[in-house]
Amino acid sequence: MSISVDEIKWLAKLSKLDFDDERAAAFSGDFDEIVEFADRINSQIAGDTTKIREVGGSEIAFADLRKDEVKESLPVEKVTSNVVSEGGYFTVRRVVK
């Protein structure tokens, strides 16, 4: 199975990655390889896939959920400590040339 350049661009759009025509074309070989690899499951299974099973499969009892008790939030200086912030906000300049 081969993935078209258009399909790669669609996936890139969903993934918020930039794949222009050139890069998508160059990537398609690599991607085919890993998709083919994933495709190996199709030789392993036939039948019902209608019900998604729980991933991880662990369970938690209702009684063990978190209590609704407020704990102090972090100081805004910490929350924004990894960026240059303004007035406590995370900021992005909308256009930078």
Partner 1 sequence: MKYELVSGLETHVELATATKIFCSCTTAFGGAPNTHCCPVCTGQPGALPVLNKRVVEFAIRAGLALHCKINTVTHLDRKNYCYPDLPKAYQISQFDKPLCEHGYVELESGKKIGITRIHIEEDAGKLVHDRGFTFVDYNRGGVPLIEIVSEPDISSPEEAREYVEKLQLIMRYLAVSDCKMQEGSMRCDVNISLRPEGADYLGARTEIKNMNSMSFIEKAMEYEYSRQAEILSSGGKVEQATMRYDEHTGETYVMRTKEDAQDYRYFPEPDLPTIIIPEEEVQKAQASLPELPLEKLKRYRDMLQLSDHTARQLYKYKAVCDFFESCINSGASARNSANLITGAIYSRFATEEQKEKFSLPFDAAQFAELVKLLDSGKINPTLAQMTLSKMLTNGGKVSDYISTEDVKGVDEGELEKLCREAIAANPQAVADFKAGKEKAISALYGYIKRATQGKADIRAADAIIKRLL
Partner 2 sequence: MTATLKQLSRLLRDKEISSVQLTRKYIEVIENRDPQINSYVTRCFDEALLAAERADKMIARGEAAPLTGIPFALKDNICTDGIETTCCSKILSGFKPYYDATAYKKLKDICAPLLGKTNMDEFAMGSTSETSCFGAPKNPRDLNRVTGGSSGGSAAAVAAGLAPFALGSDTGGSVRQPAAFCGVVGFKPTYGAVSRYGLIAYGSSLDQIGAIALSVEDAAIVFNAVKGEDERDMTSRKCPDIGELTGDIKGMKVGVVSEFFEGLSPEIKGAVERALKGLESCGATICEYSAPSLKSALPVYYIIACAEASSNLGRYDGIRYGFRAQNYSSVDDMIIKTRTQGFGKEVQKRIMLGTYVLSGGYLDAYYKKACLLRESIKEDFNELFERCDILVAPTAPNTAFPLGYTQNNAVEMYLSDMCTVPVNIAGLPAVSLPCGSDKSGLPIGVQIIGSPFNDSTTLNAAHALELCGVSKCKPEKGGVEL
Which residues form the interface with partner 2 (CB under 8 A)?
Answer: 3, 8, 11-12, 14-18, 27, 30-31, 33-35, 37-42, 44-45, 48-50, 52-53, 55-58, 60, 66, 74, 78-83, 90, 92, 94-97
**Phi, psi (rounded to 5 degrees) for 17:** -125, 155
3-state secondary structure of 35: helix
Angle made by CA atoms 22, 25, 28, in degrees to the nearest 5: 145
Q: Which of partner 1, partner 2, none has residue 71 at its interface (CB below 5 to 8 Å by kind)?
A: partner 1
What's the alpha-carbon Rg for the chain, to the nearest Å? Answer: 23
List contacts with partner 1 (CB under 8 A): 14, 16, 52, 54-63, 65-71, 73-76, 79-80, 85-95
